[in-house]
């Protein structure tokens, strides 16, 4: 009955696979008929810790019995420890908590614009932020204003000005687009929604150097790539650089609760004074308790290192298939995209076949199957998934 109710009373803004999930544990989920599936999507990387990680569940239950919401009109005893741990793990001196990833991105956009006016001296309302093709940072009006995906924009204008779009992976194009009014360059280290698209090696390093030369901030979206997903805590660490600020979300909530944040150092975070920005639920004690537990588990269980090891195995096994349907296997850690040739047909059909074999994943951009299992997956579970993948792709 649930599916019929969703169809009848909900907006038709998603096209889910025809399975109704009722329980989850670790890398496994069960449907309403009792059938078990391997979750190879992790709710788009929000479940890095797996479903219902015991330590995070325990932290949430304990906080539910104390206090869940205070608003930022008052202090709560959970926010401080959470912010300190996030600052230690991110490497930035301060964090501003929000709820959704899109809110964290919007927070960053406001911060870099205000920095442009107050510090760099850009004329009022002339700030420009350089972004890239095929980006995905969320679905607010401002964020879709710089999307290059037609569907994300169709019918939602007029759009927010102030964004300059250049090709992804082309550092020279970014430098050529910089003007005296440029305040930031804003990119994903790896484009997830676009189909797990990696830029050329050295791209982020080049952007760091370009931004330094021109007094421009480097703002990275680590919402999907951060918190261990790519085999390091942050994807920017693969090129040994440090951006000026990051947006983080998804796995920050441990798969239990929406938690996001904008992270930056003192000078940039000082752009916000009381009344400039906020959120009723951002930084609430329940979110802070969950976020702190999620960060602790990432460290204690070495989940970034696990992602590197398991990701190498998974990618090796995928490449060894030598399937004539597969155009390319790409990604880092446990963020992997398998692009199919157009002649092989749309990726959704393969996702449906994998579902029948007990493996859940999702297509993106027509021809790409995205695999992003929880970072707690074992070698044995990867081999179980590969048995189904091999059957479907060969």
Q: Average of pLDDT values for 183-199?
A: 97
Q: Average of pLDDT values for 167-180?
A: 98
Q: In this structure, are 44 and 166 located in the same domain?
A: no
Q: In this structure, are 72 and 189 located in the same domain?
A: yes
**What is the reported pLDDT for 145?**
98
Could you say which of 39, 221, 244, 363 is catalytic? 221
**What is the reported pLDDT for 38?**
98
Q: In this structure, are 149 and 23 located in the same domain?
A: no
The HSE-up count of residue 272 (CA atoms within 13 Å, CB side) is 21
Q: What is each CA distance from 223 to 56, 72, 168, 257, in whole angstroms? A: 19, 23, 18, 15
Please state the domain count of the chain. 2
pLDDT band at 243; cut points 50, 70, 90 = very high
Is 74 an annotated catalytic residue?
A: no
Q: In this structure, are 133 and 239 located in the same domain?
A: yes
Q: In this structure, are 296 and 194 located in the same domain?
A: yes
Could you say which of 250, 281, 314, 362 is catalytic? 250
Cα separation of 227 and 307, whole Å? Answer: 10
Q: Average of pLDDT values for 8-18?
A: 93
Is 120 an annotated catalytic residue?
A: no
Sequence-ordered list of residues with C-beta below 8 angstroms from that of 61, at least 6 positions apart, any chain? none
Q: In this structure, are 135 and 210 located in the same domain?
A: yes
Q: In this structure, are 211 and 269 located in the same domain?
A: yes
Q: Which CATH number fits the domain that encloses residue 167?
A: 3.40.640.10
Q: Average of pLDDT values for 340-346?
A: 97
Final residue of a structural domain among 273, 300, 327: 300
| Residue 134 contacts residue 197 (beta carbons within 8 Å) | yes
Cα separation of 54 and 376, whole Å? Answer: 13
Is 212 an annotated catalytic residue?
A: no
Q: In this structure, are 228 and 142 located in the same domain?
A: yes
Cα separation of 148 and 165, whole Å? Answer: 8
Final residue of a structural domain among 300, 323, 341: 300
Proportion of the chain above pLDDT 70, given as a percent = 100
The domain of 323 spans: 2-52+302-393
Q: In this structure, are 15 and 62 located in the same domain?
A: no
DSSP state of 251: G
User: Could you tell me the strand order of the sheet in which 36-39 lies?
Assistant: 21-25, 28-31, 36-39, 359-360
Burial degree of 369 (CB within 10 A; 0-12, 13-18, 19+):
buried
Final residue of a structural domain among 269, 300, 331: 300
**What is the reported pLDDT for 288?**
98
Q: In this structure, are 85 and 156 located in the same domain?
A: yes
Q: Average of pLDDT values for 116-137?
A: 98
**What is the reported pLDDT for 152?**
95
Q: What is each CA distance from 306 to 63, 232, 289, 302, 336, in whole angstroms? A: 29, 9, 24, 6, 15
Q: pLDDT tens across 71-120, in order?
A: 999 999 999 999 999 999 999 999 999 999 999 999 999 999 999 999 99
pLDDT band at 313; cut points 50, 70, 90 = very high
Q: In this structure, are 163 and 59 located in the same domain?
A: yes
Sign of CA dihedral 326, 51, 95, 272: positive
Cα separation of 207 and 136, whole Å? Answer: 19
SS3 21: strand
User: Where are the strands (E) in 210-304, listed by range?
Assistant: 217-221, 245-248, 260-264
Q: Is the peptide bond before 158 cis (omega within 30 degrees of 0)?
A: yes
Q: Average of pLDDT values for 258-274?
A: 98
Q: In this structure, are 207 and 288 located in the same domain?
A: yes
| Residue 234 contacts residue 246 (beta carbons within 8 Å) | yes
User: Could you tell me the strand order of the sheet in which 326-332 lies?
Assistant: 326-332, 335-340, 368-371, 362-364
Sequence-ordered list of residues with C-beta below 8 angstroms from that of 262, at least 6 positions apart, any chain? 95, 96, 98, 104, 107, 108, 111, 245, 246, 247, 248
The neighbour count for residue 120, using CB atoms within 10 Å, is 16
pLDDT band at 324; cut points 50, 70, 90 = very high
Report the chain's mean pLDDT, rounded to a whole number: 97
pLDDT band at 1; cut points 50, 70, 90 = low
Q: Which CATH number fits the domain that encloses residue 337?
A: 3.90.1150.10
The HSE-up count of residue 85 (CA atoms within 13 Å, CB side) is 20
Of all helices (H) and strands (E), which one includes residue 55? Answer: helix 54-64
* pTM of the shown model: 0.97
**What is the reported pLDDT for 180?**
98
Could you say which of 92, 136, 236, 272 is catalytic? 136
DSSP state of 48: T
């Amino acid at each position: 009955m649930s599916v019929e109710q969703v169809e009848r009373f909900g907006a038709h803004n998603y096209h889910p696979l025809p399975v109704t999930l009722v329980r989850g544990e670790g890398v496994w989920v069960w449907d309403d008929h009792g059938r078990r599936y391997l979750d190879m999507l992790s709710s788009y990387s929000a479940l890095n810790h797996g479903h219902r990680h015991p330590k995070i569940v325990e932290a949430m239950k304990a906080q539910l019995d104390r206090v869940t919401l205070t608003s930022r009109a008052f202090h709560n005893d959970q926010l401080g420890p959470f912010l300190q741990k996030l600052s230690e793990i991110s490497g930035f001196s301060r964090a501003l908590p929000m709820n959704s990833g899109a809110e964290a991105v919007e927070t960053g956009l406001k911060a870099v614009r205000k920095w442009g006016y107050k510090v760099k001296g850009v004329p009022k309302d002339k700030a420009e932020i350089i972004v890239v093709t095929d980006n995905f940072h969320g679905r607010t009006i401002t964020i879709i204003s710089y999307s290059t995906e037609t569907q994300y924009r169709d019918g939602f204008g007029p759009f927010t000005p102030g964004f300059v779009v250049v090709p992804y992976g082309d550092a020279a194009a970014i430098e050529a687009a910089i003007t005296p009014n440029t305040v930031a360059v804003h990119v994903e280290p790896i484009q997830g929604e676009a189909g797990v698209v990696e830029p050329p090696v050295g791209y982020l390093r080049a952007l760091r150097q370009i931004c330094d030369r021109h007094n421009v901030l480097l703002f990275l979206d680590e919402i999907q790539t951060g918190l261990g997903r790519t085999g390091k805590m942050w994807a920017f660490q693969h090129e040994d650089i440090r951006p000026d600020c990051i947006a983080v979300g998804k796995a920050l909530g441990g798969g239990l609760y929406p938690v996001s944040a904008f992270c930056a150092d003192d000078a940039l975070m000082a752009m916000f004074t009381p009344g400039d920005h906020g959120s009723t639920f951002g930084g609430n004690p329940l979110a802070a308790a969950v976020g702190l537990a999620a960060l602790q588990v990432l460290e204690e269980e070495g989940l970034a290192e696990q992602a590197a090891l398991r990701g190498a195995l998974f990618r090796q096994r995928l490449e060894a298939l030598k399937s004539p349907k597969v155009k390319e296997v790409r990604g880092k850690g446990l963020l992997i995209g398998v692009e199919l040739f157009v002649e092989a047909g749309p990726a959704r059909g393969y996702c449906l076949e994998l579902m029948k074999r007990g493996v859940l994943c999702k297509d993106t951009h027509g021809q790409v199957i995205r695999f992003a299992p929880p970072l707690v997956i074992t070698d044995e579970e990867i081999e179980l998934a590969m048995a189904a993948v091999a059957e479907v792709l060969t």
